[in-house]
Structures are given as C-alpha cells and as structure tokens.
Amino acid sequence: QVQLVQSGAEVKKPGASVKVSCKASGYTFTSYYMHWVRQAPGQGLEWMGIINPSGGSTSYAQKFQGRVTMTRDTSTSTVYMELSSLRSEDTAVYYCGSGPNAFDIWGQGTMVTVSS
C-alpha cells in the first residue's frame, strides 16, 4: 500500500545535527514533491520545506534557511531531512508528507529531542 515510513526517534545534544529519513513505497517516488513539517510538543504544524524527488530541487522556509538540507536517493525511494546547529526549541515531531494534494500521505513522525 501507499506509505511513508520514517526513521526512529533521536536524542541529540545542542549544537549537533540530526538526519531523518522518509522511505516511500506503493507509488512512483518521483511523481510527487515531498514536504517536511514539524510539530513541537503541544503546538501546531510548521512547514519546513519541500524537495522534488525527481530533480532534487528544494525550497526551504526562511526560518530554516542555512540550517536545513533536504536530499533524496531515487535508488531507495528515500528522502532525507538534515537539521544542524540544534537547539532545545527544535525538540519536535518531524513529519514527511506527499501526494498530488501536498499531504495525501503522511509519515508516522520522528521524535527529535534536543537536550544536554
């Protein structure tokens, strides 16, 4: 079936980087852009950026420019989101989402905890 499966929870120290993966299956990987959204504990949804799995082009929210990098591996139908210079405010669940209407499919979420 159509699904996005994300990598497991991470605990990082301030200043470190984290790389979250999102593996697509059940559809043609290169057909739809992939978005990344995060949700801090008890808070709403925040869009981080988008990657075109076909050509690899990206667009990032201004807030994350310079700290986020989105990449893809077409051989494994996987996209990656790397966030650097982590701080406590980056503690959140990170989601990937895709589909013809942007968020037809969602990953299960990856909890990233930033703590010293």
Write out the residues near another protein by the rule CB under 8 A: 35, 44-47, 50, 59, 61-62, 95, 99, 101-104, 106-109
Question: How far is it, in rounded angstroms, from Cα 10 to Cα 8?
Answer: 7
Indicate the residue among 30 and 102 with the shorter CB distance to another protein: 102
In the numeric block, which tokens belong to residue 88?
A: 């406590």
Indicate the residue among 70 and 75 with the shorter CB distance to another protein: 70
Indicate the residue among 29 and 33 with the shorter CB distance to another protein: 33
Q: C-beta of 34: minimal distance to another protein in Å?
A: 13
Tokens 């982590």: give the residue.
86
Q: What is the sign of the dihedral through the CA atoms of 17, 83, 58 and 76?
A: positive
